[in-house]
Structure 1
């Protein structure tokens, strides 16, 4: 598998990913190559070359509709970058780390509820462990 950092090191690929992310916030069903070419002002062969690299790294998905292809961002592989980067942010900012606003579709209410329950349980466990160590 291609190293994710090598893939996102290229500025054009980052521009494509940003465009796809922005378009996904609008609830679209993918972005056409023609739209990417138009928005970024680069040639169709260049866009296609970069989309191939992004596809191979599984950072984008493609939906075919006749002769046209529509691309969408797949954020899963970017978790590697997140896992690598977050410790640096925590070290640099501590509890004052900035919130990152990522425009995604809202989660289903059942998922939100489950996340809140897990969050409360984790906070309670952290509190209990912290108090246990303070008593020593």
Structure 2
């Protein structure tokens, strides 16, 4: 399986995950044609990215005849969450002093990544709580 960070490094795959997150409360998943329409990306491109996401276990697929419906499977993102937690737990006094070898720019970037990750983590947890059977 590909490294989860490599998988989510691609912007189109992140867009697909975000779209599936927004639609995770709906039953049955999201069709490939809906993803194509929403993102304005070709069907072969979407299919290629969905295969990568499927191989990384970030999405599950349900087939009905010739149609495929995709749903978010957020569990693999726990690895990303675990990696980011130490950055989020830095208290304000530590953030003011980037420490040896960490420039102000790098400290600001780490802070921005940490805040974005916390926001995504919160959104995923909220969406998962809305799923039936949870």
- Structure 1 length normalisation: TM-score? 0.70
Deviation at 1:91, TM superposition (A): 1.1
Query: In the comparison of the two structures, how many residue pairs are matched?
Result: 106
Q: Could you tell me how far apart the structure 1 residues matched to 2:91 and 2:31 are?
A: 39
Q: Which protein is bigger by CA-based radius of gyration?
A: 1
Question: Any gaps of 5 or more consecutive residues in structure 1?
Answer: 112-136
Shift of 1:29: 1.4
Q: Distance in 1 between matches of 2:2 and 2:12?
A: 17
Q: Give, in whole Å, the separation in 2 of the partners of 1:74 and 1:65.
A: 19
Aligned to 2:96: none
Which residue does 2:80 correspond to in 1? 81
SS at match of 1:42: coil
Question: For the structure 1 residues 48 and 84, does the alpha-carbon distance in structure 2 shift closer, same or farther, using more than 3 Å as the test?
Answer: same
Q: Show structure 1 runs of 4+ deviating over 6 A.
A: none
Q: Which runs of 5+ in 2 are unaligned?
A: 94-113
Label 1:46 to 1:107 Cα distance change in 2 as closer, same or farther (>3 A). Answer: closer
Q: Give 1:28 deviation, angstroms.
A: 2.8
Match of residue 12 from structure 1:
12
Q: TM-score, normalised by structure 2?
A: 0.71
Partner of 1:58, secondary structure, is coil
1:57-96 to structure 2, matched below 5 A, reads 57-91=56-90
Q: CA deviation at 1:106?
A: 4.0
